[in-house]
Amino acid sequence: MINVEVAYALPDEQKIVALKVEEGCTAYDAVIRSKIVETFPEIDPDSIPMGIFGKSIRNPKEEVLKEGQRVEIYRPLLIDPKQARANRAAKLKAEKQQGDDQK
């Protein structure tokens, strides 16, 4: 048996489930056995992206876990990270310009 974790996070809530699984267990199997879907029914293990310690895995049903690994279940992005940075930069620029105009 090996020790692994399954993690899922929302902006206001997160859950990490520690479990013992047999050697040869896949990331997908660990997600199913963790029963995390009972807490977060929006998770569809057959289609949701997963990773191990921040590195995306292509096929969770074939990715065999090793001792101590954590399977991370990823939420879909609401906005492209590059676009989010551009939006923040534009907002800061507008705020700075507005502040300069008031001087």
- pLDDT tens digits along 38-60: 999 989 999 999 999 989 999 99
pTM of the model: 0.72
Residue 26, strand partner residues: 64
What one-letter code names the amino acid at 63?
Answer: E
| Residue 78: predicted pLDDT | 65
| Residue 46: predicted pLDDT | 92
Q: List, for the chain, all residue ranges whose pLDDT scores fall below the cut of 70.
A: 77-79, 99-103
What one-letter code names the amino acid at 7?
Answer: A
| Residue 63: predicted pLDDT | 95
**71 and 30 Cβ atoms separated by less than 8 Å:** yes
Domains of the chain by range and CATH? 2-77 (3.10.20.30)
**15 and 8 Cβ atoms separated by less than 8 Å:** yes
| Residue 102: predicted pLDDT | 65
